[in-house]
């Protein structure tokens, strides 16, 4: 029984390390284009075009309030 517990522990440890490595690789691939020190030197139009080209989405909290409505008007 101890042999079985030991092998399950090793398998679980290996799986945890494997998941962490895969997550790190995927994170690196997604952020490989991004520079380390991004600055606000880009204009808003360029940033929004880059965001849309990456086919990502965002969630705006408080969109029902006046500030959220104005923000949605600017984004859309």
The structure tokens 């042999």 sit at 3
Question: Would you list the domain boundaries of the chain?
Answer: 1-32, 42-76
3-state secondary structure of 36: coil
Cα gap 12→17, rounded to integer Å:
9
| CB contact at 8 A, 37 and 26 | no
| pTM of the predicted protein model | 0.42
Average pLDDT over residues 50-69: 75
The residue to which tokens 């989405």 are assigned:
57
Instruction: Kindly tell me if the per-residue pLDDT of 3 is higher than 70.
Output: no
Range list of H helices, the chain: 2-30, 44-53, 66-75
Query: Each residue of 8-51: pLDDT tens digit?
Result: 888 888 999 999 999 999 988 887 765 555 556 667 778 778 77
The token duo for 46 is 């360029």
């Amino acid at each position: 029984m101890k042999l079985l517990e030991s092998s399950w522990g090793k398998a679980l440890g290996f799986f945890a390390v494997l998941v962490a490595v895969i997550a790190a690789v995927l994170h690196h691939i997604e952020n490989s284009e991004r520079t380390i020190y991004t600055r606000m030197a880009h204009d808003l139009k360029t940033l929004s075009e880059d965001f849309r080209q990456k086919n990502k989405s965002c969630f705006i909290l408080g969109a029902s309030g006046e500030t959220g409505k104005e923000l949605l008007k600017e984004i859309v």
